[in-house]
A and B are shown apart, each in its own frame.
Chain A
Amino acid sequence: MPPPARAKSARTLGIDRFLERWLPQIVVSPLFAASLIFVYGFIVWTVYISFTRSGVLPSYNLAGLLQYERLWSTPRWYVALQNLFVFSGLFIAGCMAIGILLAILLDQRIRIEGVIRTIYLYPMALSFIVTGTAWKWILNPTLGIEKFVQELGFPGFSFDWLIDPHMAIYTVVIAGVWQSSGYVMALFLAGLRSVDDEIIRAAAIDGAGPVRTYATIILPIIRPVFLSSIIVLAHIAIKSYDLVVALTNGGPGYATDLPATFMYSFAFQRSELGVAAASAVMMLVTIMAIIVPYLYSELRGGRK
């Protein structure tokens, strides 16, 4: 029904009607356009560049799979991929194990739960650069843990993972798990709290012990939390850039390179735009393979 008794010319009424009909679309469209340009347009540009001869400057002449051949014949890329597998595997496993354990322990109606939860989760509020700086100091081979243990009475103790090319990636795992396991704890604690008390009581009446109750009844109910936690962690792992920069800067040499640091180095330090674009596309494809099916099922499931 039109607003009554308002003296308006037919023309303004027309504009009003037009706005009423189209305003939502008009409001959303610039944002949608921004997303089209800055997300999809830029992805298309990067994908295109990855198929050209681009070096220091972008070139728009197509060169087939040249850059991908160069990428996949670069030993450093294999180091980055291997590190990604090691890092993401241990990072996800470590965060899940610790996060689930802490969530279950905190679920036992602890009076100071709020305080403890705050302590477990505060690293998530900090930049990886900040926590990386702290861990770099703690793991410092001459002044950190090594010296501390030596002075405890073990003069032969050695802990120099940070500068050991074979072990340095594990320091990234340690700092990463320390930083992100609280996140998993929070997600699982919320999941545990959503389980109906009746089910738990029924299990107790059946005589199931606490371990069995969790392993066979409660955790299976909150199976979706496993999936979303793993997806989120995989996503963090693949995008990990600042933690490595702060802790090892990809070193020693390029021993702790991840695809993210590889891409940055080739794009902004070595000016190999084509190879950098190709590595970025590989990262995108990996993340899409994980995220798209997940988002698809989430969005479908969320619709009533």
Chain B
Amino acid sequence: MNGEGIVRRKGARQAVLRALLFTVLGLFCLVYLMPLVVMISTSLKSLAEIRTGSFIALPREVTFDAWAKAWNSACVGVRCNGLAPYMWNSVAMVVPAVVISTFLGAVNGYALTKWRFRGADTIFALMLFGAFIPFQVVLLPMARTLGYFGLAGSTYGLILVHTVYGLAFTTLFFRNFFVSVSDGIVQAAKIDGAGFFAIFFKLMLPMAVPTIVVTVIWQFTQIWNDFLFGIAFTVGDSNPATVALNNIVASSTGVKEYNVDMAAAIIAGLPTLLVYVLAGNYFVRGLAAGAVKG
């Protein structure tokens, strides 16, 4: 058989190499899976079992008490309503922010590539820079601006922040896609009398569906996982799930409930994990595009 990659010598040596290859790959699988397995297993144990047993052992008696507590009665600061209300905060933040930033990125990428006006490249380069700034440099003015407009500590403020700072990436994704679309199609549509938006909605968007999926998944993951903006611009009740999770874990009052911490961490991570499992290939394409491969 020819087609075994580079390691393709036949016979015993080949077999040993293949065995070694799979051993190393398998060991790394264990390393990557270990924290997830430990999280799940710890979340299913009772506190007594956690204290007596080893952190890596599977639960002897499975209990979902920690999950129930993490969902609706764990204390986040002084409030003991669990993670649930904060999960809804995250949903209320992530859905509008993803929809708006993806749509605007699509229009932008389309206008910058298919209606190339003078300065379009400069505008794109200037906008792209926004994707790479350390957000620390905008935290202070953003906090003041949100306060000035009465948006401080609200989900609306976070939607605005995530939309604005997500635009650079969404525009990048769509620009890279539309650059590859033949100009001839657009020219033909123009001659037929189709205008800017007609071409966009009827011709371009249907072609861009894979890019839309990549962008939505990228934005969803980024915004859901954000912590910096969440902790800087929201207070208490309006915290997103990541901030609430950190408050649950960092709370120093009472007995440390590791099982509840782990259940809360899994709950907070579940939405992005599910998206990754269901649409991993699109996620990887987003990562690759995020590396700004020319």
Q: What residues of A have a CB within 8 angstroms of the CB of B138 in the complex?
A: 38-39, 42-43, 46
Residue on B nearest A233 in the bound complex, by CB = B291
Interface residues on A, range: 35 or more
> Which listed residue, B54, B227, B249, touches A136 by the CB 8 Å rule?
B249
A299 close to B (CB within 8 Å) = yes
Residue on A nearest B115 in the bound complex, by CB = A24
Closest chain-A Cβ to B270's Cβ sits at a distance in Å of 9
> Interface readout for B1-45 with A: 1 if CB under 8 Å, 0 if not?
001111110000000000001101100110111111011001000
> Interface readout for B121-139 with A: 1 if CB under 8 Å, 0 if not?
1010111111011111111
Binds A, one of B59-67, B190-198, B205-213: B190-198
- Are A28 and B21 also in contact (CB < 8 A) when A134-B38, A241-B227, A284-B137 are? no
A242–B224 Cα distance when bound, in Å, is 13
> Which listed residue, A31, A43, A294, touches B104 by the CB 8 Å rule?
A31
A3 close to B (CB within 8 Å) = yes
Q: Are B129 and A39 in contact (CB under 8 A)?
A: yes
Q: Are A241 and B191 in contact (CB under 8 A)?
A: no
Q: Are B108 and A284 in contact (CB under 8 A)?
A: no
A46–B141 Cα distance when bound, in Å, is 7
Q: What residues of B have a CB within 8 angstroms of the CB of A10 in the complex?
A: none
Closest chain-B Cβ to A172's Cβ sits at a distance in Å of 15
- Are A143 and B51 also in contact (CB < 8 A) when A122-B276, A186-B284, A267-B139 are? yes
Q: Are A263 and B136 in contact (CB under 8 A)?
A: yes
Q: Are B167 and A264 in contact (CB under 8 A)?
A: no
Q: What residues of A have a CB within 8 angstroms of the CB of B249 in the complex?
A: 133, 136, 246
B142 close to A (CB within 8 Å) = yes
> Interface readout for A193-208 with B: 1 if CB under 8 Å, 0 if not?
0000000100010000
A219 close to B (CB within 8 Å) = no
- Are A178 and B228 also in contact (CB < 8 A) when A35-B127, A42-B141, A210-B7 are? no
- Are A129 and B137 also in contact (CB < 8 A) when A24-B117, A108-B7, A121-B284 are? no
A287–B129 Cα distance when bound, in Å, is 11
| Chain B binding surface, main DSSP class | helix
- Are A126 and B25 also in contact (CB < 8 A) when A131-B35, A263-B136 are? no
A168 close to B (CB within 8 Å) = no
Residues 119 to 159 of chain A near chain B (Cβ within 8 Å): 119-131, 133-138, 140, 143-145, 147-148, 151
Residue on B nearest A21 in the bound complex, by CB = B117
Q: Are B258 and A123 in contact (CB under 8 A)?
A: no
Residues 90 to 139 of chain A near chain B (Cβ within 8 Å): 98, 102, 105-110, 116, 118-131, 133-138
Residues 175 to 231 of chain B near chain A (Cβ within 8 Å): 191, 193, 195-196, 221, 224-228, 231
Closest chain-B Cβ to A2's Cβ sits at a distance in Å of 8
> Which listed residue, A1, A31, A43, A120, touches B137 by the CB 8 Å rule?
A43
Closest chain-A Cβ to B30's Cβ sits at a distance in Å of 9
Q: Are B21 and A108 in contact (CB under 8 A)?
A: yes
- Are A27 and B287 also in contact (CB < 8 A) when A125-B221, A133-B249, A235-B132 are? no
Closest chain-B Cβ to A163's Cβ sits at a distance in Å of 14
Known: A38-B130, A108-B6. 20 other contacts (CB 8 A): A19-B196, A39-B130, A42-B138, A102-B25, A122-B276, A122-B277, A127-B268, A129-B242, A134-B262, A137-B39, A138-B34, A148-B54, A183-B287, A186-B288, A187-B287, A239-B136, A249-B250, A264-B136, A295-B128, A299-B294
What residues make up the interface of A, taking CB atoms closer than 8 Å to B? 1, 3, 19-20, 23-25, 27-28, 31-32, 34-36, 38-43, 45-46, 49, 58, 98, 102, 105-110, 116, 118-131, 133-138, 140, 143-145, 147-148, 151, 178, 182-183, 186-187, 190, 200, 204, 210, 213-214, 228-229, 231-232, 235, 238-239, 241-242, 245-246, 249, 259-260, 263-264, 267-268, 273, 276-277, 279-281, 283-284, 287, 291-292, 294-295, 298-299, 301-303
Q: List 15 A-B contacts (CB under 8 A).
A: A23-B195, A42-B137, A46-B138, A107-B5, A121-B283, A123-B32, A127-B225, A127-B227, A213-B6, A239-B134, A283-B134, A284-B136, A287-B133, A295-B128, A299-B125
What residues make up the interface of B, taking CB atoms closer than 8 Å to A? 3-8, 21-22, 24-25, 28-29, 31-36, 38-39, 42, 50-51, 54-56, 104, 107-108, 111-112, 115, 117, 120-121, 123, 125-130, 132-142, 144, 164-165, 167-168, 171, 191, 193, 195-196, 221, 224-228, 231-232, 242, 245-246, 249-250, 258, 261-262, 264-266, 268-269, 272-273, 275-277, 280, 283-284, 287-288, 290-294
**Which 5 residue pairs of A and B lie closest in terms of their CB atoms, listed nearest first?**
A125-B276, A24-B115, A127-B225, A108-B5, A302-B294
